Amino acid sequence: MQKVAFIGLGIMGRPMAANLVKAGFDVAGYSRRRESAEDLLAAGGRWAGSVTAAVRDAHAVITMLPDSPDVEAVALGPDGIVSNAPSGTLYIDMSSIRPDVARRVAAAGAARGLRCLDAPVSGGERGAIDGTLSVMAGGAAADVDAARPLLDAMGATILHVGPAGAGQTVKAANQLIVAGNIALVAEALVFLQAQGVDVAAAVAVLAGGLAGSTVLTRKASSMLAGDFTAGFRMELHDKDLAIFTAAAREARVVTPLGGILAQLTGAACAQGDGRLDHSALMRVIQRLCGLLP
């Protein structure tokens, strides 16, 4: 049975690690707080007392951490993965971080004989629990193939999108489009409500044509109901748009909508809505219109 180290047992990491156990892997987990490992232990996994202990004899290492500095610390620190995992280990970072950091980690790992992938996901907590995440993987094709049994245990769609960093690049683009769709739907809903339109009928007709989107189908009714319980937290989406705009700037890509969207998620966080669902961009629009206190 293949040994897997899983670092980062948060809202996403917990069910992902449990799904690996269910698929027959021997999973040793580590997280900052030991309590986070309870689900993993219940599923039949083990607790590793430290990153070093977790990775020392692993065939594969997976990280699922909040932000770029976390991955840098866990991957590149003296007690971290690159310094302590055996040569030949497959290291898959599934966090959403900056593409340039992903490329740096991959280069450092390669220098020590690790086979590194950046493989961020979409699909949210629901997809993590159900094992139906979409995985966008960057790295060598052979390493993506080697990782497939692991990734298949956690996701429904596994796509190799390019070399190191490409997974994070695609994830950044994903977050641009999602934030943009939420903001567009928010502007449209506030506009329709202000005009005395039958909004439910309007949403039905919009969803059926070229304006249709997954955001409109899944999020419009909770947005209209003012239900913004996360879900995917605004503050994480704000972080992701900072990643997107920085990566776009680095690549000399001009993004008029990306620029304004980063301001809007920033406004949501500054206004105290950082822990609400990202669909709470609607509240920024409502405040701009004087419709919220």
- Kindly identify the residues of this chain, within the stretch 57-96, that bind a second copy according to CB under 8 A: none
Q: Is 219 designated active site?
A: no
Please state the separation of Cα 79 from the chain's center in Å: 25
21 CB contacts (<8 Å, ≥6 apart)?
27, 40, 43, 44, 45
The answer to whether the CB of 276 falls within 8 A of the CB of 228 is yes
Structure tokens at 81: 């993965």
Q: Which residues, in sequence order, are bridge partners of residue 138?
A: 118, 162
Which of 42, 73, 107, 211: binder of a second copy (CB under 8 A)? 211
From residue 148 to residue 177, the character string flagging contacts with a second copy as x (rule: CB under 8 A) and all else as - is ---------x-xxxxx-xx--xx-xxx-xx
Between residue 19 and residue 38, which ones bind a second copy under the rule CB under 8 A? none
Segment contacting a second copy (CB under 8 A): 1-9, 30-38, 58-66, 284-292? 284-292
Which of 111, 142, 225, 254: binder of a second copy (CB under 8 A)? 254
* DSSP calls for 63-77: E--SSHHHHHHHHHS
Which of 212, 221, 226, 229: binder of a second copy (CB under 8 A)? 212
CA dist list (Å): 249 to 136, 171, 240:
22, 16, 14
Which of 10, 77, 149, 266: binder of a second copy (CB under 8 A)? 266
The residue from 3, 22, 171, 239 that is catalytic is 171
Beta strands 46-47 and 90-93 are unpaired
Contact call for residue 251 and a second copy (CB under 8 A):
yes
Cα gap 112→110, rounded to integer Å: 5
Which of 2, 83, 181, 222: binder of a second copy (CB under 8 A)? 181
Which CB sits closer to a second copy, 77 or 162? 162
Catalytic residues, by residue number, are 171
